[in-house]
Amino acid sequence: MFVPSTIQEGFAFANCTECRAKFILRANVPPDHWSLRLKFQFLVAREHARSFLLLFSWSTWWKTEKLTSMCKNLIRAITLS
């Protein structure tokens, strides 16, 4: 069975369908800027640490406030009875 070259597998994306010229694709790979990558990783680590400290300090404060109010209620209950 005859298969025209324009519909062969992989032909449409590797060659021009009108003139059958082969496409030459060059990869545009940017140079590796290790300093920018390191700076980005530092900023991400800083944001994670900041979020962790904020959450930790908030949870500690909340637990302290809750414990304080519980102790006050307990003392009030003991003194009233």
Number of domains in the chain: 1
Q: What are the distances in angstroms from CA 22 to CA 13, 14, 17, 33, 62? A: 9, 6, 10, 33, 68
The tens digit of pLDDT for each residue in 42-77 reads: 999 999 999 888 888 877 776 777 767 777 787 788
End-to-end alpha-carbon separation of the chain, Å?
102
Q: Which of 33, 5, 29, 31 is nearest to 19 (CA)?
A: 5
Is 61 contained in some domain?
A: yes
Is 25 contained in some domain?
A: no
- pLDDT number for residue 23: 79
Residues of the domain holding 45:
33-81
Residues β-bridged to residue 22: 15
Is 65 contained in some domain?
A: yes
Which has more confidence, 37 or 78?
A: 37
Is 19 contained in some domain?
A: no
Under 8 Å between Cβ of 35 and 44: no
- pLDDT number for residue 60: 72
Is 43 contained in some domain?
A: yes
The tens digit of pLDDT for each residue in 5-51 reads: 555 556 557 777 788 788 787 888 888 888 989 999 999 999 999 98
Give this prediction's pTM.
Answer: 0.43
Is 62 contained in some domain?
A: yes
3-state helix, strand, coil in the chain (%, to 5): 60, 0, 35
